[in-house]
Amino acid sequence: MLEADKLFAGSIPENYDRYMVPLIFEPYAADMARRAASLSASAVLETAAGTGVVTRALAPQLSAATNYVVTDLNQPMLDYAASQQPPDNRVTWRQADALMLPFEDAAFDVVCCQFGAMFFPDRVSAYREAKRVLGPGGHFLFSTWDRIEENHFADDVTNALARMFPDDPPRFMARTPHGYHDTALIRSELEAAGFSDVAIETRAEQSRASSPRIPAVAYCQGTVLRTEIEARDSSKLQAATNFAESTIAERHGSGEVAAKIQAHIITATV
């Protein structure tokens, strides 16, 4: 992962939440919220919360006595997440690095993290921190995307941009969001962090949009792909978005579109 892959700034958080969240994140957020809520935890920590899609799904399912701490490394994303959440005295928002969590040992029953592990510069350290802040019998729930070929819109956009910028193709999606798909590696890194009870489920969903324009804008303007496109030619963001749109339309049609998405859901128990 490049350092620039962590820079969800400027208009990216708004476009990310408006386009990417309903396109690919909401089905998995609902699933993670269901899993986390079923554990009846009294203290929950969310890391790498992004714009708060899991927070919005999970908070209504927690008991009135649950302490829910929501964190992200990126302050603009966290600020946006907080702005989208109704006032709730159970929820605390805090900027925090998943590799150096500012919490006591065994402070939580559940740690959850949706699609954040791919961005951790040292995943084993992040997993050790998750284990450290979990009490006995605590659960670490997180998800990672499967390989990009199993996530069709992301693959379509990446291939389109490779044709547009053949000398230096933007590879953010393949490199980082879809770069941590090896389940054997995931398991081995969790074991290196001290987890011995690990379950991994691969789950397919459908990504749906009202037109090919939606996934094109989502990926090209709601992710760090935008930074990569503008770094190559600052005048070509709209042209790149248009080309991605036409590529998706060629493969999936010009009206409502649907395509496969696939992710790994991991549960590690202390």
DSSP state string for 127-138: HHHHHHHEEEEE
Single pTM value for the model: 0.91
Q: What is the structure's pLDDT at 7?
A: 43
Q: How many CB atoms lie within 10 A of CB 250?
A: 12
Strand segments, DSSP code E, in 58-163 are 67-72, 91-95, 108-114, 134-145
Q: What is the structure's pLDDT at 5?
A: 36
Please give the average per-residue pLDDT across 224-238, as a whole number: 94
Torsion angle of the four alpha carbons 126, 132, 135, 139, in this order, in degrees rounded to the nearest 10: 20
Asked whether the predicted pLDDT for residue 28 surpasses 70, the reply is yes
Judging by DSSP bridges, how do beta strands 257-269 and 197-209 pair with one another? antiparallel
Q: What is the structure's pLDDT at 77?
A: 85
Per residue in 45-102, pLDDT (tens digit) is 999 999 999 999 999 999 999 999 999 998 888 999 999 999 999 999 999 999 999 9
Q: What is the structure's pLDDT at 12?
A: 62
Per residue in 119-135, pLDDT (tens digit) is 999 999 999 999 999 99
| Number of structural domains found in the chain | 1
Domain that holds residue 210: 3-269
Asked whether the predicted pLDDT for residue 4 surpasses 60, the reply is no
Give me the CATH number covering residue 86. 3.40.50.150
Asked whether the predicted pLDDT for residue 6 surpasses 70, the reply is no
